[in-house]
Amino acid sequence: MSVQLEPRPPSLTVGPAPRRRTPSHNLTRTSGIGLGLTMTWFSLLVLIPLAAVVATAAAGGPDGFGRPVTNEQTAAAIRITVLAAFSVTLVNVVMGTMIAWVLVRDRFPGKALLELVIDVPFALPTIVAGLVLLSLYGNDSPLGLELANTGWSIYLAFLFVTLPFVVRMVQPVLEELDQEVEEAAASLGASRLTTFRRIVLPALAPAIAAGAALSFARAVGEYGSLVLLSGNLPFESEVTSVRILSAIENDNRATAAAIATLLLVISLLVIVVLDVVQRRVARRG
């Protein structure tokens, strides 16, 4: 006698519902139009002009690019400019952070005026800045500091035009920091230096790095404030922007493009290095 077994109904397994694949973007038609206009505007103002300069520099091949930037006078101007911009950026990182700290954490008479004065280098035409510095640090200086037509004039002009960058990048971040976290660390026995290094500095690192990058890039391309102050003395107070202008005036656009491209590469490298440094500081915090 054979027994036939009825087939068992398929068992229902209860488990998590399958995840829906989310699209990689959520651009609507309006957002797409906005993105297209943004990229078009950015390309016309930045990408295409930069590409044109790089193409002009590369048109002459390696020799056409290397010869202008290795010229003795041009190489000296590049070295002076980069060294001064780097030194001024280091000063701005320290002093700019200190100024931002004072503006956020302290209350004192004249604070509103100081807030206003810090932004003066943003609004003041650079040639006017050079005239102001020349009247104070030129010949017959009322302070006894005759720095005009010397190498120190470059540092002075760079410090003036780059002062607000780190301050204005760090200040809003510092205002958003929760001071209760610092007070908790102090109550647990952490010193002020430890609290700043482990709590405050990692939070400020991205803002400091961004301000430093802007400061360096601004200094590398500075020209107006140096026209009256530095004297543009070769091998002593001549900066790269002056060499570029000289090449343009001599109808040598290839040389000017080669120098400008080198400055662009240097600025990009500095921005990348600063980004890596701020990431490591934030991670160690």
Listed by start position, the domains of the chain span: 28-59, 62-284
Distance CA 30, CA 51 (A): 29
Closest CA to 209 of 54, 72, 97: 97
Burial (Cβ within 10 Å: 0-12, 13-18, ≥19) of residue 78: buried
Asked if residue 169 lies in contact with residue 102, where contact means CB atoms within 8 angstroms, the answer is no
Work out the average pLDDT over 233-251: 87
Neighbours of 166 (CB within 10 A): 29
Distance CA 202, CA 206 (A): 8
Please provide the CATH number assigned to the domain covering 62-284: 1.10.3720.10
- HSE (CB half, 13 Å, CA atoms) of 193? 0
Report field, pTM of the whole predicted structure over 0.85 = no
Work out the average pLDDT over 253-265: 88
3-state secondary structure of 20: coil
**Of 141 and 19, the one with more pLDDT:** 141
Distance CA 211, CA 208 (A): 5
* Structure confidence by residue, pLDDT tens digits, 46-88: 889 888 888 888 887 888 788 888 888 889 999 999 999 999 9
pLDDT at 127 over 70: yes
Length of the chain: 285
